[in-house]
Amino acid sequence: MNNAADHLSFDMALERYKEVKSKPFRINESDTLLQDYHPDYAADQTTNLNIGVNKGEHCVTELASILQADSPFDSKSICSEEFVDVLVIGGGGAGCVAALSAAETGSNVLIATKLKLGDSNTVMAEGGIQSVVNSEDSIQQHFTDTIQSSYFRAEKEVTAKMIQNGPESIRWLIELGMKFDTDDDGNLLVRKGGGATFSRVVYFKDYTGLELMRVLRSALSQSSISVLNHTPVVELLSDNGRCTGAVLLDLESRTLKIIRAKSVILATGGSGRVHINNFPTSNHIGATADGLSLAYRLGAKLRELDSFQYHPTGIIYPESLAGTLVTEGLRSAGACLLNAQGERFVDELKSRDIVSAAIIRECENGRGVELSSTVKGVWLDTPELEKNKPGILKNQFPKLMSLAKNNIINPTKDPILVYPTLHYQNGGICIDVNGESTVPGLYSTGEVSGGVHGKNRLMGNALLEVISLGRVTGKHAAITAKDVDYGEVGFSHLDKWRSERQQLCKDNNEVAPKLFPTYFNFRY
């Protein structure tokens, strides 16, 4: 840590917080806040794609390099071949939901996943699932909130389907045995997410994702679905423009296996571990944009490749926890953000892009709490929340309170130092209302797909997408599979790709999917 005179130790910063805390509010959300401070709007962060179906479009530089990379695939080393009706790639929430729904039709379903089933962003989700559950709220209002917060970029038909199916999807989860927090009469408790008109985020403490994965895993264990752990997909197969399966890498034996499938569902999640703009991330270790690179090489159209969500409250101190998420549920419950002068500077329940830009503004203009040249942030005032609502942290936020159990920070006594953390990929693979991509036979669901969040996602809408559209996608992929035969094991898309790369991407020496972040030193 830098000890320069104008930097503070964490303890000194805490003392100052106690001295200045009672200052008045200075809420300031100028019209140019996003343009001036949100990383998505920085002109030098994007480049134009040189090859592929999105050629000529803007893409953040780090992702462009991955999308235009070569395949690791070498046909000489294939060891075995298997046939399934539906291949699901990814064992997080979306993959499990889609697989369960596909299997309900009687199809033969296989999940291939990079890590162990459930190791994913889903399992870490905290705040909850956004869906209409109260009579004063409406599907129309949820739709309007979502479209508005997407800056009118969300794809309307797919978004409408996701929201309409929301209440039924929550019922489905309850039937699977998922627990939600309820009042004494058994009514679902709801939180208000930033940018939403009504409180409609249902949750289980700050462990919603863990509880969700618990019931999905349990349902899978009682189904006929097969699971291959530690077996990431490294290339897709094609036959006359249709996706016909995938090539899997067994991480233990380092051998390649072919899975021939009538429908393929990509559910590989997001890309936080690409650390766009050098941000720390809240994402799990496998979030390396694999699905985007696989789909793009096969010819699937992608969207909003220049739009990412930086969640306002990522922990920045201690540095070992950098990027770890502190749920929006705390701000929803009333926790305020304070700068180094003890001032509130933004309405904490504005949408995430605005709150994040406001935090960055405070820090760039010398009003942040500065522990070193790289560790700057603002306070999330959890002690004040606890003072106003005694017991709330222990009762509603046990995951956060585990920081105190482990003697890291005690949020009932000390505020948490936070800064935006790279959290979510707003865009992804273009899909239709059935979850099918622009490549026949290739479906996509969950965070890897794009369309329902436009340029900014509402709290709880990612898990809604996972469940609501995951079910639709699984079902349609399985129904389609009933009417098609197995295609050939083809790689013509790869030949075309490699020749395009040779002409237009000579300087790109990358190989993707990356599978793990660069600091893992993984080699094919």
Ligand X SMILES: Cc1cc2nc3c(=O)[nH]c(=O)nc-3n(C[C@H](O)[C@H](O)[C@H](O)COP(=O)(O)OP(=O)(O)OC[C@H]3O[C@@H](n4cnc5c(N)ncnc54)[C@H](O)[C@@H]3O)c2cc1C
Query: CA angle at residue 448 from 224 to 199, to 5 degrees?
Result: 95
Please say which residue, 101 or 339, places its beta carbon nearer to ligand X.
Answer: 101
Q: Which of 34, 89, 215, 302 binds ligand X (CB under 6 A)?
A: 89
The verdict on 131 binding ligand X (CB under 6 A) reads no
* Pick from 408, 384, 504, 483: nearest CA to 441: 483
Instruction: Kindly state whether residue 446 participates in binding ligand X, applying the rule CB under 6 A.
Output: yes
> Is the bond preceding residue 513 a cis peptide, omega within 30 degrees?
yes
121 binds ligand X, rule: CB under 6 A: yes
Question: Residue 439 contacts by C-beta under 8 Å, 6 or more apart in sequence?
Answer: 238, 241, 242, 243, 295, 298, 299, 300
Considering the rule CB under 6 A, would residue 115 count as an interface residue with ligand X?
Answer: yes
CB of 287 to ligand X, least distance (A): 6
Q: What is the largest CA-CA distance in the chain?
A: 72
Nearer to ligand X, 49 or 429 (CB): 429
| Contact region with ligand X (CB under 6 A), list: 217-225, 355-363, 440-448, 478-486 | 440-448
- Contacting ligand X (CB under 6 A), which of 51, 125, 225, 369? 125
Q: Count residues near ligand X (CB under 6 A).
A: 44
Q: Closer to ligand X by CB, 139 or 285: give it.
A: 285
Binding mask 191-230 for ligand X (x = CB under 6 A): -----------------xx---------------------
Q: How far is the CB of 325 from ligand X (least distance, A)?
A: 4
Give residue for tokens 């929301």.
166
Query: 20 vs 251, which CB is nearer to ligand X?
Result: 251
Cβ closest to ligand X, residue 345 vs residue 516 = 516
Q: What is the b/e burial string over 460-474, where b = at least 16 CB atoms within 10 angstroms of the residue's CB? A: bbbbbbbbbbbbbbb
Whether residue 275 lies in the annotated active site: no
x/- map, 256-275, ligand X, by CB under 6 A: -----------xxx------
Please state, in angstroms and rounded to a whole number, the distance separating the CA atoms of residues 376 and 359. Answer: 10
Helix, strand or coil for residue 385? Answer: helix
In degrees rounded to 5, what are phi and psi of residue 248? -110, 145
332 binds ligand X (CB under 6 A): no
Q: How far apart are CA 181 and CA 195, in angstroms?
A: 22
Residue 313's closest CA among 340, 347, 352, 286?
352
Which residue in 124, 346, 380, 409 binds ligand X (CB under 6 A)?
Answer: 124
Give least dist CB 208 to ligand X, A: 5
DSSP string, 190-242: EEPPTT-SS--EE-STT-HHHHHHHHHHHHHHTSS-EEETT--EEEEEEETTE
> Which string of x and - marks every residue 233-252 that binds ligand X (by CB under 6 A)?
x-------------------
Ramachandran assignment for 516, one of left (phi > 0), alpha (psi -120 to 50 degrees), beta (any other): beta
Please pick, among 273, 311, 344, 493, the residue that the annotation labels catalytic.
311
Helices (H), 236-325: 290-298
> Which residue, 118 or 383, is less far from ligand X as judged by CB?
118
**Which one among 110, 190, 259, 325 touches ligand X, defined by CB under 6 A?**
325
| Residue 161, Ramachandran bin (φ over 0: left; ψ between -120 and 50: alpha; else beta) | alpha
Active site residue 214: no
Task: State which of residues 52, 95, 299, 427 lies at the interface with ligand X (CB under 6 A).
Answer: 95
If one asks whether residue 420 binds ligand X (CB under 6 A), the answer comes out as no
Residue with smaller CB distance to ligand X, 122 or 150? 122
Question: Applying CB under 6 A, does 427 fall inside the site for ligand X?
Answer: no
Contact 461, 169 (CB under 8 A): no
Q: How far is the CB of 501 from ligand X (least distance, A)?
A: 20
For residue 84, the cross-strand partners are 261
Measured from each CB, the residue nearest to ligand X is 92
Find the part of the chain contacting ligand X (CB under 6 A) among 1-9, 75-83, 113-121, 373-381. 113-121
Point out which span in 50-58, 92-100, 299-307, 338-346 binds ligand X (CB under 6 A).
92-100
Nearest CB to ligand X, comparing residues 17 and 317? 317
Toward ligand X, which CB reaches closer, 39 or 91? 91
* Residue 39 makes contact with ligand X by CB under 6 A: no
What mask of x and - would describe binding to ligand X in positions 135 to 174, judged by CB under 6 A? Answer: ----------------------------------------
Question: Radius of gyration of the chain from Cα atoms?
Answer: 23
Show the tokens assigned to 156: 């309307």
Out of 38, 297, 331, 361, which one is annotated catalytic?
Answer: 331
Q: Out of 101, 283, 339, 426, name the contact with ligand X by CB under 6 A.
A: 283
CA 190 to chain centre: 22
DSSP per-residue letters across 158-189: HHHHHHHTHHHHHHHHHHHT----B-TTSPBP
Measured in whole angstroms, the distance separating CA 68 from the mean position of its chain's CA atoms is 22
345: helix, strand or coil: coil
286 belongs to the binding site for ligand X (CB under 6 A): yes
**CA separation for the pair 302, 246 (Å, rounded):** 19
The only residue of 114, 142, 153, 453 in contact with ligand X, by rule CB under 6 A = 114
Q: Which residues bind ligand X (CB under 6 A)?
A: 89-95, 112-115, 119-122, 124-129, 208-209, 232-233, 267-269, 282-283, 286-287, 290, 325, 424, 446-448, 460-463, 466, 513
Which residues are catalytically annotated? Answer: 311, 331
